[in-house]
Chain A
Amino acid sequence: MARPRGTDGSLLSSLPWTLAALAVAALPHLPYLPLWVTAASVGCALWRLAVERRRRPLPSIWSRSVLALGAFLGILFTYETISGVGPGSALLAVMAALKLLETRRRRDQFVLLFIAIFLTMAALLREQHLWSLPYMLLSLVVTMAAWLQMAAPPGQPARHSVGTAARFLGYAAPLAIVMWVFFPRIATPFWAVPIDTSSGTTGLSDTMSPGDITSLSQSDAVAFRVRFDGEAPAPRDRYWRAIVLHRFNGRTWTGSEPAPDYTFRERVEYIGEPVDYEVTLEPTRSQWLMALDLPESWDLPKAAMSRTQSLWRIQPVDQRIRYRVRSYPEFRADVDLPEYNRSWYLRLPDGRNPKALRFAQELRDRSRSDRDYVNAVLGTFRSEPFYYTLQPPALGSNPVDRFLFDTRRGFCEHYASAFAVLMRAAGIPSRVVLGYQGGETNPLGDYMIVRQADAHAWTEIWLEGEGWRRVDPTAAVAPERIDDGRSAAMFDGTAEAWGLAAPSALLYRLTLTWDAMNARWNEFVLGYGPENQDRFMRWLGLNNPDWRNLMLTLVGAIAALTLVIHALLILRFRPPREDRARRLYERFVRKTSLQPARGETPLGFAARAADRGADPAEIYSITVLYLDARYGDGGEPAMDKLRAAVRRFRPRVA
């Protein structure tokens, strides 16, 4: 049974709206969609519109099937998978385009509008910016307007549908807010599907090859935000530890896969005053978490301390997360490092960087102790012409040799790598730590922003009786980098390398304001998870906010709101003003205790009532007021006068 394929122009009033809904919903996907999907979708939409205008037939089922198969294979070929938000939204876009080719009746558009809603949801899963909320609302208004356009009588202006859709969304909004606040949030996902496989890793990489990078991109993107309970530590203590690298092949430093260390409290001795703070971490798509050197306790579920004293979590950080940490800036870690572990941190590849090894041995021989040796190396960095630059030359196959004795230009990774190698060559266990250093306080938001540009690498050396100690060789070369943060650290005259190196005061303020807004948004809207909900419920006075109580509250609140909406609707459907006048007039008629005759006009009735001896002037004035309120343009004032006059009216009993 073949369906008829002809079009009759009956979709002309609704199809443009459906297409608009799809376009708005697909807009945030555009940067991610393969070009052919965008081209095919736009092409299908324009073509379908032309078909409807010219009342041409739609393609046959065969050509549609071939197209559908081709599109599906195209997606599979482009993405090599169909799960995840990227391929999923591409598939939705293609489905919408194909569905357009067989949309003939008005009701077929339902499918397209459902796709538009799914596309909107996919966009929200992918990105949640400040503008995502207005985008969502706009998309919903257009979609629901298109929905109404499907059944709208021909000739009715489309703004009627838009207005109605917006009004209904207005009614739905309080309900949605109540549901949003009270719906119980759970911490763990049901299943883990990658949100987006198409975009790469941002932030820290988990390997380090100092010689390969010739230009470090200084991204102003926010890595994480921190709010300290008390005073923020001094800049020189703001080392945000993430990844520890201990394996070196002569060119590249790598670390181990994270493994939990349940005995870290025995291996680490925390000294002095703790620092409590809350980190809001942007998605890193890695398992490592940022914490101030050195974390002691944290509130994130399924997170653990690694064997190298870094925090990590089983689930990669695919979404912005928030956690509280207590750190101790002073600590002694691994004082009793077993011998086999020590050798692990001493290993160097054979035959690589020979000059550096020889230099280290000579210098160690001249030093009285390990401590002296460390100072001597740092002294070398300080006294010899080493420069800090973000655009160092490439280093070739023996990068440490070439850096130490030849180029002498580099950034933190070069210094950390060279320093760690020099330590190992002299028999001092060492490792490289990747993380962030510094952070900029936003006075508008009372918190600290740490940006990708604050990424840093430093070293840790193990000294007998002291355990692991942090040594930052970059500080020897460019102490400003450590003490004042990057805004003050202007080296090598390459200001543009710092991005916002010297922003104008206004721009700087605007940036901070924008960031403060984003931080609020992240904290109160996007970060509204189990912990925040619990806190908020307790603040509201709900003492035991488990999911059962939340659901009960939710149901109660929805019922109450529904009653309000119901009442509002009844109010909207109340009789029009004319009839209020009519009711007042009928009250007046009852007061006269006369029966109006059938078909008698108000003036006729007034004449008769006046004849019966009541106050004629009053009767006439009420009648005129009634006529004015009901039929004239007296409006509300006339209505008020009529109401007062009817209330005053006391007919004398004849």
Chain B
Amino acid sequence: MRLAAHLTGWLPGLQSAADRRFKTWVRRRQGLDARTTTLGSGRVYILPTGVGFVFGSMAFAMLLGAMNYNNNLSFGLTFLLAGLGLVSMHSCQRNLVGLEIAFAGVEPVFAGDVARFRIALNNGSRNGRYQLRLEGDDGLSEPVDLNPGESRVVSLPVTTTARGYVRLPRFAIRTRYPFELFHAWAWLHMDLEGLVYPALAANPPQPPASVAALGHRQHDARGEEDFAGLRSFHRGDSPRTVAWKAYARTGQLLSKRFAGADTSSQWFDFDSLAAFDTEQRLGILARWVVDADRRGEDYGLRLPGATFPPAHGGAQRIDCLEALALFGQEGARG
């Protein structure tokens, strides 16, 4: 009993240590992967599963039975099963070899939320690939099937804890197809990272009062929806503001501008929140930015070392939140 307890206490530790060493070895062996990687046969690993072991033991028992009775049809059955095992090993490996795996982006999230790394699986072959699962640090994704020539995007969730970058240094693609007798997998090291904004403060203090606008915008009291012309599309503009009709006509992406969205702008200042520590300040500023953006107001952000003049819209929001996310961390990137 003591031995058993000893072993059970020991084994998981041993296993995870072996697992770690294996992963390190694989990383050294394969190096850094490109953002679009086609799996070669040298990097697809394969091992029998539990079911596979049972299947093998059963085939062995059947072989003994067939030998004992010199029963040739039983030999046939046993060898068919053995052949099936061999074939299933090879097709399990082939199910992954040649698969193209590409990083398809990740949306920024607020700290504490789940970042979803989008991984595109591209089957550029004539044969379907079945029951592919991605595995990140937070477990396995649902299995996907890829028809010949089909591509699919699978998102790999990673729970974030702190602002800055969330990293996905390594993920795996796994399959047990066809008969779950074998388990083939490949590790990918794309060193993916996604932006994590500061967690929004739950109970922020009131934002500072607006000050009069500086007059670089048209003052108009006729309300938010007044169309004030087109300008070329900037990254971060909301799709709602895109002039789709104009796009259909000219093929140029243009954003509509509206006059009189607000008549005032406000400054969110890092230094004005002296009562809080840095992370709290960032959370409060992020909350103000998000709220102001939701209201469509102009706002500016002042951080030590960075100033964003008042503006509104998606680009302003992204710029500000990114600055908050990476505040004091620029050197840590990489």
Residues of A within 8 A of B (CB): 110, 114, 117-118, 120-121, 124-125, 128, 132-133, 136, 140, 144, 147-148, 150-151, 153, 156, 164, 168-169, 171-177, 179-180, 183, 185-187, 189-191, 193, 195, 318-319, 525-529, 558, 562, 565-566, 569-570, 572-579
The interface residues of chain A lying within 8 Å CB-to-CB of B143 are 151, 153
CA A572 – CA B84 in complex, angstroms? Answer: 18
CA A358 – CA B70 in complex, angstroms? Answer: 55
The interface residues of chain B lying within 8 Å CB-to-CB of A577 are 126
The interface residues of chain B lying within 8 Å CB-to-CB of A578 are 149
* B274 close to chain A: CB less than 8 A: no
CA A575 – CA B126 in complex, angstroms? Answer: 6
Query: Which of chain B's residues 62-112 have a Cβ closer than 8 Å to chain A?
Result: 62, 64-65, 67-84, 86-88, 90-91, 94, 97-98
* B178 close to chain A: CB less than 8 A: yes
The answer on a CB contact under 8 Å between B90 and A569 is: yes
CB nearest to A172 among chain B residues:
B83
Residues of B within 8 A of A (CB): 51, 54-55, 58, 62, 64-65, 67-84, 86-88, 90-91, 94, 97-98, 124-127, 131, 143, 145, 148-149, 176-180
The answer on a CB contact under 8 Å between B125 and A576 is: yes
CA A281 – CA B118 in complex, angstroms? Answer: 69
The interface residues of chain B lying within 8 Å CB-to-CB of A136 are 73, 76-77, 80
CA A623 – CA B232 in complex, angstroms? Answer: 36
Not counting A121-B65, A187-B70, A562-B86, a sample of 6 additional A-B residue pairs whose C-beta atoms are within 8 angstroms of each other reads: A176-B83, A526-B72, A562-B90, A565-B87, A566-B90, A574-B126
Point out which of B64, B71, B77, B149 has the most chain A C-beta atoms below 10 A from its C-beta: B77
The interface residues of chain B lying within 8 Å CB-to-CB of A173 are 80, 83
The interface residues of chain A lying within 8 Å CB-to-CB of B145 are 153, 156
The answer on a CB contact under 8 Å between A572 and B87 is: no
CA A176 – CA B78 in complex, angstroms? Answer: 8
The answer on a CB contact under 8 Å between A189 and B82 is: no
CB nearest to A572 among chain B residues:
B127
The interface residues of chain A lying within 8 Å CB-to-CB of B90 are 562, 565-566, 569
- A117, A156, A565: the one within 8 Å of B58 (CB): A117
The answer on a CB contact under 8 Å between B83 and A190 is: no
- A156, A175, A187, A569: the one within 8 Å of B94 (CB): A569
- B69, B73, B83, B131: the one within 8 Å of A175 (CB): B83
CA A562 – CA B179 in complex, angstroms? Answer: 18
The answer on a CB contact under 8 Å between B74 and A179 is: no
- B51, B78, B82, B91: the one within 8 Å of A168 (CB): B91
Report A258 CB to chain B, min CB distance, Å. Answer: 22
The answer on a CB contact under 8 Å between B126 and A124 is: no
The interface residues of chain B lying within 8 Å CB-to-CB of A144 are 84, 179
CB nearest to B89 among chain A residues:
A562
The interface residues of chain A lying within 8 Å CB-to-CB of B97 are 573
CB nearest to A558 among chain B residues:
B86
CA A110 – CA B58 in complex, angstroms? Answer: 12
- A114, A140, A172: the one within 8 Å of B87 (CB): A172
Report B251 CB to chain A, min CB distance, Å. Answer: 12
CB nearest to A187 among chain B residues:
B70
The answer on a CB contact under 8 Å between B94 and A125 is: no
CA A114 – CA B61 in complex, angstroms? Answer: 12
The interface residues of chain B lying within 8 Å CB-to-CB of A570 are 94
- 22 contacting pairs across A/B (C-beta < 8 A): A117-B62, A117-B81, A121-B77, A136-B77, A147-B179, A153-B143, A168-B91, A169-B80, A172-B87, A175-B83, A176-B79, A176-B82, A179-B82, A180-B72, A189-B69, A319-B69, A565-B86, A565-B90, A573-B94, A575-B125, A576-B124, A576-B148
